[in-house]
Structure 1
Amino acid sequence: MPFSPPRNPLEDPALEPYRDFLLRRSRRFTEEMRRITAQYGSLRAYANLHTSLGPHRVRNARGVDCWRWREYMPQAGAVWLTTDKLNFQRHASHRFRRKEDGILELILPPDALAHGDYVELRVQLPVAPDGSDPDECRLGAPPLRRVPAFAQWVEQDKAVPTQWCARLWAPEQPYRFRHRRPGAPVFPRIYEAHVGMAQSSLTHHGESVGSYEEFSRSILPRIKADGYTAVQLMGILEHPLYRSFGYQVSSYFAPSSRYGTPDQFKALVDEAHGLGLSVILDITHGHACPNTEQGLARYDGSRYFFSEKFNQWGTPSFDYSQEMARRFLLSNCRYWLEEFRVDGFRFDAVGNMLYHDHGVDDDFSHVGRCFYGKNGEPRADENGELYLCLANALTHELRPQAATIAEEFSGMPGLTCPPHEGGLGFDYRFAMGIPDYWEKCIEAPRDMGSLWYEMTNHRPYDRTVSYVECHDQCINGDDAMIWRLMGDDMYHYMAVGKENWNVSRGLAFYRLMRLITLTTADAGYLNFMGNEFGHPEWLDAEAHAHRQWHLADRPDLKYAGLAAWDKAQLCGLVAAHAEDFQQAPLFRFIHEDQRLLAFERGRLLFAFNFHELEARQNLTFTVTPGKYVELLSSDETRFAGHGNLSVACPPLEHFTRPLPDRYEQDVTLYLPPLVALVLRRED
């Protein structure tokens, strides 16, 4: 019988010792879904905190129009709403009344609030530390200032940058979307971007930030034209610390006002949909901003939604054992899917959500480390697992075509399998080991066997997205791969016709890195903005908050050649031969000393020469029989190569030769140093 790979973790013999963990994960999700459905009717109805808490225009029992504002603050002694109309003073008319289950409510007439009003909460702590006397406040203690948890519009005070204040978002005419959402992604090509840092260096200087409107106008068309099918946006949820790149969220229901209004972000999503691009939102549901005035930390004076210990970043981690914490985060998913019509989520730091110890100081060298800690104790946070299962189920219930992606470092099995198969329900996981591997390759050559293993290393049931580098390799002074390869020589030898060995070698190796990462990718591919043309500077949140897009548009510079290479791969290969990328890579040939590697994918054949000095005049290896027609060479001059191997017009054809007693046949190719050749089989 031929070997049949396992289809899910429960069928994987290697995971048999951990089967009980997987079954318990599945059982907990099933039981919780049954409870939610019985008590709330549906998971969507369960994720409704944003529709019941915060400010809403409603009709009371007598049919009279009014404002109803509710807050979940179980430990607060007293709460007031203050506004700019009231000079931010506490008034008895704006004091919340306590209801059941930690809910406080305020009813106001229609003219008490208007679109654009500045609003804040004042929270008085109770006399008793346990909150047993909620209506009697601590005498003499100043009230706490809080930005409302469900604020949809939060602005930074230009005069006092450390001060943030919410504004009521209630326009008379809601934004009307014009375009349909794209369908479900097939082998998604994801462009990771940051709106504030995507503006052109020619039009912006210093510490200015870009806008939603500029991104829609200038960057989205570029992403589409380059062959990407999705844009993954980081830093959208409001965050006081700009250099956190959006990973310390304060206001979960507010798109960052640094770049424009909520409607302008809706227009960005709408414009992307008009171009056929999906919009994936980078969300941080593992931890939150530690700021108390602007964020959720000690929102009512207590730990609120968070665990007792801060994580390795010094930020509070969500406590998933609290049902209201889970409902808050689920409501956040529903809000962005419905209100802004995003097409999915990239969940940040999933490993920190899966483990009580956040996976700190563990290399996860064995799969057992995902289930047992260093002292043999079970380490999984089952409540964190439950939340992720619910979040994925909710996302796909609301939008079946949505994509959810796990940024997860430990290698937890089954991330992309449904809970009934022992998984967590994601669509994709990032292949986070690949950029680490490329960093090592740049420092010192690695053997070809390890290269093939790293590019194709994933469980057969876990759908992975590959990438050479993401924002992690490019921000706050960290060096992008192109800079690691070439360094300061990029400033002097990127003009066409101006040669330098280090730059020539770096460009050639960079083209190979990107091609083999894309063409061996299991289920998708990601690029960080600017890396497609070898952006020469890192991305710093304050000093270098721009991108030099003009470099990619100048034919006299080699950056334009790298941009053309990226576009040729995505448009000329993946888009033009989508059916081939639905099949897995098939290994064909490797030679360690000569640093050669070849594989097939569907009808496509890829041959790589990673040797820096030796050309292969008559490289012969076995392939599927047929006629192979050259499609692309990484050494073409249009890709900033040297033209030692260029695809002719008409392209060269290579015919295979029979071998005795074998189905496969030999093909012979020519490969210069640091060059890859792409061919397609024609019967």
Structure 2
Amino acid sequence: MMKKNNYNNVSSNGETLKILEIDPWLKPYKKDIGLRMNSYKRTKHSLLGDEGNFKDFANGHHFFGFHKSEDGWYYREWAPAAEALFLIGDFNSWNRESHPLTKKEGGVWEIFIPGKEALAHKSKVKVRVKSKGTDRDRIPLYIRKVVQDPNTHDFSGQIWEPEEPYKWSDENFRVDSAKPPLIYETHIGMAQEKEGIGTYKEFEDNILPRVKAMGYNTIQIMAIMEHPYYASFGYHVSNYFAASSWFGTPEELKSLVDKAHSMGIAVLMDIVQSHAVKNFAEGINEFDGTAHQFFHSGGRGYHKAWDSKLFNYGKHEVIHFLLSSIKYWLEEYHFDGFRFDGVTSMIYHDHGLGTAFDEYSKYFSLNTDIEALTYLQFANELIKEIRPDAISIAEDMSGMPGMCLPVAYGGIGFDYRLAMGMPDFWVNTLKRKDEDWDLGKLWHELSTSRPGEKRIAYVESHDQALVGDKTLIFRMADKEMYWHMNKDSQNISIDRAIALHKMIRFITISLGSEGYLNFMGNEFGHPEWIDFPREGNGWSFKHCRRLWSLSDNPFLRYEDLKNFDIAMIRLMSEEGLIGGGNPQPLWLDQKKKIIAFRKRDYVFIFNFHPTESHEGFGIPIHEEGSYQVVLDTDEHRFGGYERISHNTVYEVGTLPKYHTHSGIVIYLPSRTAMVLKKIK
């Protein structure tokens, strides 16, 4: 239940909620917001009572599963509809009858195995579950490690109880909330150049130093939760308390996180609680023999587009299971927060498929799943109770109002929302001729956000790099990348792609969002697509890796793009130019394709025109001062043509063509961007 000092002034129709003051356009929907807040209060009270908290509630992993005591081992499961459970494994030669569990209250099953050595570290286990019409060998729900037999390819649970627990050295690490998150989105397995699956250890040794050198302060790791099919990109989760064994051991993952913290890098986990793999043998589906143990029954419990199962967020035991998973990853692996996958799918009954969220009424209809919104409020409240400095990010393409406002305001409680419209905008823009780009729409898409809500800007994530799609640079350069990425080669398509790759990233990171994300390798224009090994490609790893050597080769233009990304990130980070409110527009010229704006003492100028350069162009500044270029996309070190002077000091004066305006007169080469700093 809510604490007594929370929401004591909230009426049933939500009249006093601060969200309505922040966004007055929501006032016609105050009853709908009141409904979701009443759901929050009512469900919280039923779970916690008058004075409880989620930190003490979300302890399923401390009770269920395998726990070593002074006298032996306890093993517990929640399987309310099961008729019998039997623990099987190496320890009893897989005897299917010798170790039955006893049923307790509330659908809990338990067995005590005497002797501290009864279950050995790394021994394999499963649980045989008998229910009406079914008799299956299953992986325990709270298992902390899963392994696959190299011969039979079957998965089993594995006891993980090393003699010496991992010794952390990061006790003093905290996320610095004063620094906007600069997120390097990663996947452990494909982070290496070899044609195979990379490991936690290889990532720690080889990739973390790259991330640090590039200036990113946060990594977001995909596919950490155990998943039986490698090519699912980690989104068909089977085990909610097991770190993926594809990449190594739990200790190796902990070492990776520990090392990142020692380098000042926060570590976010891509958490998948929007759906689950439908597999019986590897996952949690029908664990107790019923479809409704964790998921909705019938069509509501199945996601046709994803071929996966959908959680029943209105069920208290499901809330307990999922919240315990969140607490487990924070406690056990010291993650600094989460990017919640598939939030849009969670919060709408139609999963947001095919819906254009172009008016407020679509957020507050019968299509809205209030139980899912309530769960997400609980999840964010739990995260902040455990780690007030932790970060939570919503992958919500719908832009649900209040998604990134505090629960106390009537919001859902996330810190940030991925600005998923940005990559779509760039894909659609690149389908037009350069002369037809709409700079008004560009400004609106990149600078507009919901009042008081923070966004993570990005040009492309892993989604745009998957097979069947194209990365930004491959859309622009295509097959020419195979032949003309040498610095000595001249090619019009490559020149355009290199120039726009830099400009698009620069304007995206600078136009107002409070954070920035890049998928690994995209910063240097990684060629081609991501295609996981599968039957259709002969189980090849050729396109499931990162070719870091391309960016390290001084003879290739990939190095130019990498160098620009490093300089861009450093400038935006060190000078505090990310976020900070809306930029001040100075000039927007649709015909000449010029955008200029100011952020504090910096002026950003972009000339997107493909051919027209402008000599003596006047940019209004509206205040006295002197300015000097500190970074531009046309520098030689970035593969440019050195057309922009860094030595010239531009004095603000009366503009020749606009005698009522003061500003600077400057040369604007075609397809370039620059930023000037006020020096006095």
TM-score for both structures, normalised by structure 1: 0.91
Aligned residue number for residue 81 of structure 1: 87
Q: Deviations over 1:505-524 (max 9, x none)?
A: 11111111000001114210
- 2:620 corresponds to which residue? 622
Q: Which amino acid aligns with 1:89?
A: N
Matched, 1:672 2:669: yes
The structure-2 alpha-carbon separation of the partners of 1:66 and 1:469, relative to structure 1 and needing over 3 Å to count, comes to same
Unaligned segments of structure 1, at least 5 residues: 1-5, 60-64, 127-137, 373-377
The correspondence for 1:19, drawn from 5, 16, 30, is 30
In the alignment, the residues of structure 2 paired with residue 25 and residue 421 of structure 1 have an alpha-carbon distance, to the nearest angstrom, of 12
The answer as to 2:649 corresponding to 1:656 is no
**Aligned positions of 1:131-530 closer than 5 A:** 143-161=135-153, 163-179=154-170, 180-185=172-177, 186-200=179-193, 204-205=194-195, 208-303=196-291, 304-308=293-297, 309=299, 310-311=302-303, 312-372=305-365, 378-444=366-432, 445-530=436-521
Distance 2:506 2:381 in 1: 34
- How far off is 1:181 after superposition? 2.0
Would you say the 8 A contact 1:288–1:315 is kept in 2?
Answer: yes
Match of 1:132 in 2: none
**Mapped partners of 2:418, 2:660: distance in 1:** 36
| Cα distance between partner residues in 2 of 1:581 and 1:652 | 28
Task: Show CA shifts across 1:598-631 (max 9, x none).
Answer: 0111111100000000001121121142111111
Q: CA deviation at 1:366?
A: 1.6
> Whole-Å Cα distance in 2 between the matches of residues 48 and 9 of structure 1?
35
In structure 2, relative to structure 1, the CA distance for the partners of 1:664 and 1:415 (3 Å cut) is farther
CA distance 1:320–1:664, change in 2 (3 Å): farther
8 A Cα contact 1:152 1:169, kept in partner = yes
Distance 1:545 1:11, change over 3 A: closer
SS of equivalent residue, structure 1 residue 587: strand
How many residues align? The count is 643
What is the CA-CA distance between 1:145 and the residue it aligns to? 1.3
CA contact (8 A) 2:377 2:413 kept: yes
Post-superposition Cα deviations, 1:561-620, rounded to whole Å, max 9, x if no partner, equal: 00000000011x112201675343111101111111101111111000000000011211
- On the 8 A contact 1:198/1:546 being kept in 2, the answer is yes
CA distance in 2, matches of 1:97, 1:552: 59
Three-state SS of the structure 1 residue aligned to 2:674 is: strand
SS of the residue 1:679 aligns to: strand
CA distance in 1, matches of 2:204, 2:55: 31
Measured in 2, the distance between the counterparts of 1:407 and 1:469 equals 14
- Matched-pair contact (CA < 8 Å) for 1:40–1:46: no
- Match for residue 587 of structure 1? 585
Q: Measure the CA separation in 2 of the matches of 1:583 and 1:606.
A: 15
With over 3 angstroms needed to count, the CA separation of the structure-2 counterparts of 1:27 and 1:307, relative to structure 1, is: same
Report if the CA contact (8 A) 2:606-2:672 is conserved.
yes
Question: In the alignment, residue 338 of structure 2 is paired with which amino acid?
Answer: F
> Do the aligned partners of 2:175 and 2:336 also contact (CA within 8 Å) in 1?
no
Q: Is the 8 A contact 2:344 2:352 kept in 1?
A: yes
Cα distance in 2 between the residues matched to 1:7 and 1:616: 48
Moved more, 362-371 or 275-284: 362-371
Q: Deviations over 1:371-409 (max 9, x none)?
A: 12xxxxx22111101100000000011000100000001
Offset at residue 477 of structure 1 (A): 3.9
- Letter paired with 1:305: F
Contact 1:26 1:421 in 2 (8 A): no
CA displacement, residues 435-481 of structure 1 (integer Å, 9 cap, x when unaligned): 00100111104211111111112112110010000000001342101
- Within the alignment, does 1:102 sit opposite 2:107 as a pair? yes
Secondary structure of 1:197 counterpart: coil
Which deviations, in whole Å up to 9, do the C-alpha atoms of 1:221-253 show, x marking residues without a partner?
Answer: 100110101000001100011111000000111
How big is the shift at 1:652?
2.0
CA deviation string 1:81-115 (max 9, x = no partner): 101232322133x1000000010011111232111
Any residues of structure 2 matched to 1:561-600 within 5 Å, and which? 561-571=560-570, 573-578=571-576, 581-600=579-598
Rounded to whole Å, the distance in 1 between the matches of 2:20 and 2:310 is 28
Who is 1:632 aligned against? 631
C-alpha separation between the residues in 1 aligned to 2:363 and 2:654? 48
Deviation at 1:10, TM superposition (A): 4.7
Q: Contact 1:9–1:413 (CA<8 Å) still a contact in 2?
A: no
Distance 2:578 2:525 in 1: 28
CA distance in 1, matches of 2:143, 2:129: 16
Name the CA distance, whole Å, in 1 between partners of 2:224 and 2:162.
21
8 A Cα contact 1:239 1:250, kept in partner:
yes
Give the residue type in structure 2 aligned to 1:106.
I
Cα displacement (A) at 1:155: 1.0
1:177-208 Cα distance to aligned partner (Å, 9 max, x none): 112323334211000000000012xxx22xx1
Quote how far apart the aligned CAs of 1:58 are.
2.9
Q: Determine helix, strand or coil for the equivalent of 2:117.
A: helix
Q: Partners in 2 of 1:634 and 1:523 — Cα distance?
A: 22
Does the aligned pair in 2 maintain the 1:240–1:294 contact within 8 Å? yes
Q: Could you say what secondary structure the match of 1:593 adopts? A: coil
- Local SS of the residue matching 2:496: helix
Q: Is 1:124–2:130 an aligned residue pair?
A: yes
Q: Is the 8 A contact 1:54 1:151 kept in 2?
A: yes
Per-residue CA deviations over 1:626-668 (Å, capped at 9, x if unaligned) read 11111111011111112222x43xx321111147999962211
How far apart are 1:35 and its partner, in Å?
4.4
Q: Contact 2:655/2:664 (CA < 8 Å) preserved in 1?
A: no
Query: CA 1:49/1:290 → structure 2, altered by over 3 Å: closer, same or farther?
Result: same
Q: Secondary structure at 2:572's aligned position in 1?
A: helix
